[in-house]
């Protein structure tokens, strides 16, 4: 049997040869592995080791005993959460807001990237990109201060216009009817530019000869976008959509926490804000961990199911294992 030869099942029958090939590869690309080393260390320290904290969902956490020696209580926190009187309200609110952010918002960065890709004036294109990217780097606290300049009851632009025309002021931030429009429009304003970067990067790699051939065949800009640009980014679109479904029960506490008011609490209270309230405000760390673990578990199931469905329909998939 020769070194590195495999049997009919694809198994390497010479493990020693495989180890030597791995060592050779590491030596050959040692500089690249050294560049990767800080990222690997970062994720080990701040992503993988803290995963042991998940056990807090099954322990009655006590400060005097610490995480490792707190007593086990099984699924008590999960049962308490499932029996919580507002359980279905929290689920409904979270799913509705996630529907806005995942389903309705999802095509907008794609459209924005396609339109930016059609701009031929590079100077104007850079200005539009910069202006659209900037809001992403603002925290939601700062972003909400800017939003308040438009919706504030006393000095907001919208109410000033209403007063000018002799209409009564509206407390937009406290009205449940205005919560979803404010939430969705502000989310688009803050994220659409940054979300379009990956699509623009994919479009930059499209062979220009395809556009030239389409032009010769008489295709207009819309036809070229539909038949060349969009299919070129289709694998990226599918991958991001699958990954986006993992957050269907995580609607983003930072934005929603800023927009919550007594008047809209019935539709603005979601699982994320509930976890923050129970964990940080009330100190129920184990209970909050259980709720958060429930969110993550549902997200994992949705990713696996969607990935399997996409694999059957198309040739694109995310290899999970």
In a domain, residue 81? The reply is no
**What pLDDT, in 10s, does the model give residues 101-136?**
888 999 999 999 988 888 888 888 889 988 999 999
35 and 137 in one domain? no
274 and 163 in one domain? yes
Tell me the two tokens of residue 33: 């592995």
pLDDT per residue, tens digit, the chain (321 aa), is 444 455 544 455 555 677 888 888 888 888 888 998 999 999 999 988 888 888 899 988 888 888 888 889 989 999 999 999 989 999 999 999 989 988 899 999 999 998 888 888 888 888 998 899 999 999 999 999 999 999 988 888 999 999 989 888 889 888 889 999 999 999 999 999 999 988 888 888 888 888 888 888 888 888 888 888 888 888 888 888 887 877 777 888 888 988 888 888 889 889 988 998 888 888 888 899 999 999 888 888 888 887 777 777 666 555 544
Tell me the two tokens of residue 208: 């220009």
pLDDT at 3 (0 to 100): 46
230 and 122 in one domain? yes
pLDDT at 15 (0 to 100): 59
Kindly report the backbone phi and psi dihedral angles of residue 111, in degrees, each rounded to the nearest multiple of 5, phi listed first.
-60, -45
Total number of domains constituting the chain: 2
285 and 138 in one domain? yes
In a domain, residue 286? The reply is yes
Question: DSSP per residue over 28-79, as a string?
Answer: HTHHHHHHHHHHHHHHIIIIIGGGGGGGGGGB---TTTHHHHSPB-TTHHHH
155 and 37 in one domain? no
pTM for this prediction: 0.79
Cα–Cα distance list, 201 to 131, 156, 161, 305 (Å): 18, 38, 41, 28
- CATH number reported for the structural domain that contains residue 278 in this entry: 1.10.3720.10
272 and 203 in one domain? yes
In a domain, residue 79? The reply is no
- Cβ atoms < 10 Å from Cβ of 117: 19
236 and 114 in one domain? yes
pLDDT at 321 (0 to 100): 47
Select from 298, 258, 242 the least CA-distant residue to 106. Answer: 242
99 and 21 in one domain? no
Kindly report the backbone phi and psi dihedral angles of residue 277, in degrees, each rounded to the nearest multiple of 5, phi listed first.
-65, -45
In a domain, residue 55? The reply is no
In a domain, residue 33? The reply is yes
Q: Give the relative orientation of helices 179-195 and 140-151 as an angle to the nearest 10 degrees.
A: 130
**What pLDDT, in 10s, does the model give residues 285-298?**
889 999 999 988 88
pLDDT at 1 (0 to 100): 44
pLDDT at 191 (0 to 100): 92
pLDDT at 306 (0 to 100): 78
pLDDT at 4 (0 to 100): 47
pLDDT at 245 (0 to 100): 79
Residue appearing with tokens 């694809």? 10
Q: How many CA atoms lie within 13 A of 44 on its CB side?
A: 6
In a domain, residue 76? The reply is no
290 and 241 in one domain? yes
148 and 15 in one domain? no
194 and 104 in one domain? yes
Q: Give the relative orientation of helices 197-204 and 230-244 as an angle to the nearest 10 degrees.
A: 150
∠ CA 49-55-57, nearest 5°, is 130
pLDDT at 38 (0 to 100): 92
Which structural domain, as residue segments, surrounds residue 39?
1-48
In a domain, residue 223? The reply is yes
Q: Give the relative orientation of helices 140-151 and 157-164 as an angle to the nearest 10 degrees.
A: 0
In a domain, residue 248? The reply is yes
104 and 29 in one domain? no
């Amino acid at each position: 049997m020769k070194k590195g030869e495999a049997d009919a099942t694809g198994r390497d029958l010479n493990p020693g040869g495989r180890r030597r090939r791995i060592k050779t590869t590491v030596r050959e690309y040692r500089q690249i592995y050294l560049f990767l080393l800080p990222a690997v260390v970062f994720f080990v320290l701040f992503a993988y080791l803290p995963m042991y904290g998940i056990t807090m969902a099954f322990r009655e956490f006590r400060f005097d005993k610490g995480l490792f020696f707190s007593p086990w209580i099984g699924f008590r926190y999960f049962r308490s959460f499932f029996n919580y009187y507002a359980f279905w309200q929290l689920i409904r609110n979270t799913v509705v807001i996630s529907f806005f952010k995942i389903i309705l918002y999802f095509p907008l960065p794609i459209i924005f990237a396609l339109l930016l890709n059609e701009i031929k004036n590079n100077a104007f294109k850079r200005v539009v990109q910069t202006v659209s990217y900037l809001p992403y780097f603002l925290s939601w606290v700062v972003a909400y201060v800017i939003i308040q300049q438009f919706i504030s009851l006393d000095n907001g632009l919208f109410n000033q216009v209403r007063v000018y025309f002799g209409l009564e002021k509206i407390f937009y931030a406290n009205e449940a009817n205005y919560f979803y429009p404010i939430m969705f429009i502000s989310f688009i304003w803050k994220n659409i530019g940054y979300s379009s970067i990956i699509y623009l990067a994919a479009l930059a790699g499209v062979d220009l000869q395809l556009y030239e051939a389409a032009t010769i065949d008489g295709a207009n800009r819309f036809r070229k976008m539909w038949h060349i640009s969009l299919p070129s980014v289709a694998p990226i679109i599918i991958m991001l959509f699958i990954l986006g479904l993992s957050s269907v029960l995580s609607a983003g506490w930072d934005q929603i926490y800023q927009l919550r008011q007594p008047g809209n609490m019935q539709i603005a209270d979601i699982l994320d804000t509930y976890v923050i309230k129970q964990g940080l405000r009330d100190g129920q760390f184990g209970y909050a961990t259980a709720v958060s673990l429930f969110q993550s578990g549902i997200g994992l199931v949705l990713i696996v199911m969607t990935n399997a469905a996409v694999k059957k329909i198309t040739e694109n998939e995310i290899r999970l294992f």
